[in-house]
Amino acid sequence: MPRYLRWISAATAGMTIQFAVQVLFLALFVGVGKNKTLGGGAGAFVAFSATIVNIVAALAVNDWLSSRYPVDAAKQAERQDAGDPR
């Protein structure tokens, strides 16, 4: 599997997970009770956790794809000798 496809898959998974986490957190914390809004430390926590979850999901997908579809070392050396950046 070409490296760029792994990156596209990883980025897509990361963005999807980030969207799901933000929807979950916003559904849990925004509008709870008497029109409470997310602010201060809770808002920072949601923003930070969404970013971290996005990165972890992207790295996990990239790692899984690279272990499932390894690049042959001989092919990779040939490509680098030919000037192909993959």
Indicate the pLDDT class of residue 26, thresholds 50, 70 and 90. confident
Q: What are the structure tokens assigned to 78, written together?
A: 């040939």
CB-CB contact of 14 with 58 (8 Å): yes
Q: What are the structure tokens assigned to 73, written together?
A: 């070392």
Question: Which pTM value belongs to this model?
Answer: 0.57
CB-CB contact of 50 with 22 (8 Å): yes
Q: Which of 31-35, 41-45, 64-68, 69-73 is predicted least confidently?
A: 31-35
pLDDT digits (tens, 9 = 90+) for 56-78: 888 888 888 888 887 666 666 66
